[in-house]
Amino acid sequence: MPDELNRRPGVAAIAPADPALTPYDHAHRMTYLRLLDAHAEGTDWREVVRIVLSIDPDREPEQARETFDSHLARAKWMTEQGYRHLLKGAFR
Question: So where are the chain's domains?
Answer: 23-90
Average pLDDT on 63-92 reads 83
Query: What is the pLDDT at residue 82?
Result: 78
More confident residue, 90 or 87: 87
Contact between 35 and 75 under an 8 Å Cβ cutoff? The reply is yes
Q: What is the pTM of this model?
A: 0.83
Query: What is the pLDDT at residue 3?
Result: 42
User: How far is Cα 4 from Cα 41, in angstroms, rounded to an integer?
Assistant: 30
Contact between 53 and 68 under an 8 Å Cβ cutoff? The reply is yes
Between 1-15, 21-35, 77-91, the lowest mean confidence (pLDDT) is in 1-15
More confident residue, 63 or 82: 63
CA distance to 20, 67, 83, 84, 85, per residue, from 89 (Å): 12, 28, 10, 9, 6
Backbone angles phi, psi at 32, to 5 degrees: -60, -45
CA dihedral for 15, 44, 76, 33, sign (positive or negative) = positive
Query: pLDDT tens digit string along 24-72?
Result: 998 999 999 999 999 999 999 999 999 999 999 999 899 999 999 999 9
